[in-house]
Amino acid sequence: MLEIKNLTIIYPNGKKAVSDLNITIADGDLYGFIGKNGAGKTTTLKACLTIHDYNTGDILLNGVSIKSAPTECKKRMAYVPDTPILDPNLTGLQYLNFICDIYNVSEEKRKQKIPALSKQLGMNEKLNDLISSYSHGMKQKISLIGAFIHEPKLLILDEPFVGLDPEAFIQLKALMKALCASGGSVLFSSHILDVVEKTCNKIAIIRNGELIRSGETQEILENRDLENVFMELNGK
């Protein structure tokens, strides 16, 4: 379980990007995080990974502050940013083995998971190519494989569907659901409201750094579609 409690983040230039934010992601939750450009999604997600510091409030993973045990917490999480930064001089396979080394994934598990995930996301024939030769979507896919490969308890994804082809799009949704069904959880930001509405059991909506709605998808929708709810909550 991840608890974001009264989180406030102010950038050094004085910009308050996140203000007194509270979100709880329980085991099994597939949690969609939505808001307009600049609402504070990426800043919040990066804080969960200790990439960004926070001014007040706290973020707890299974009751432990990520600030007090950052390495332990990060071992249980995976993160794919909206634009993955990868070493262009590695092949896809070398990158995946590097990730497996960091997370202590056994040889046996690698042999099973690398081909399976690569096939699922359509990268099996590209693994021996250099990352420098990959398109944006391929970089996205290899990063996603690297995130799923060590079976994180919590997967955090920033705009994961951008740039994926339709098949990978469908497979990613299946992988996310499977992770949640096995007791893990996923928190992801997206501007694709249709996917959030149909995939997530919970949704949080942020505006100008403040949480304006969160909870069970069905309760938020109340028989409307998410586009209407989103527009209404944003005063449109």
Ligand X SMILES: Nc1ncnc2c1ncn2[C@@H]1O[C@H](COP(=O)(O)OP(=O)(O)OP(=O)(O)O)[C@@H](O)[C@H]1O
Binding site for ligand X (CB under 6 A): 11, 13, 15, 17, 35, 37-43
* Complex with ligand X: residue 43 or 214, whichever CB lies closer: 43
Q: Which is nearer to ligand X, 24 or 208 (CB)?
A: 208
Helix segments in 14-165, DSSP class H: 41-48, 70-75, 92-102, 107-120, 136-148
Kindly write down the DSSP assignment for every residue of 181-221, as one continuous string: HTT-EEEEE-S-HHHHHHH-SEEEEEETTEEEEEEEHHHHH
Least CB distance from residue 82 to ligand X, whole Å? 7
Q: Minimum CB separation from ligand X for residue 213, in Å?
A: 15
| CB closer to ligand X, 12 vs 183 | 12
Closest CB 97 distance from ligand X, rounded Å: 31
Cβ nearer to ligand X, comparing 20 with 129: 20
Q: Shortest approach of ligand X to residue 81 CB, angstroms?
A: 10
**CA–CA separation, 77 vs 71, rounded Å?**
10
Q: Are 132 and 94 in contact (CB under 8 A)?
A: no
Cβ proximity to ligand X, 37 vs 71, nearer residue:
37
Starting at the edge strand found earlier in the chain, the sheet holding 202-207 runs: 77-80, 154-158, 185-189, 30-34, 202-207, 210-216
Nearest distance in Å: CB 32, ligand X: 13
| Closer by beta carbon to ligand X, 44 or else 185 | 44
187 within 8 A of 33, measured Cβ to Cβ? yes
In order of 32, 125, 134, 148, the CA distances from 49 in angstroms are: 17, 31, 26, 16
Distance between CA atoms of 24 and 192, rounded to whole angstroms?
A: 22
C-alpha to C-alpha distance for 148 and 58, rounded to whole angstroms: 26
Least spacing, CB of residue 212 vs ligand X, in Å? 13
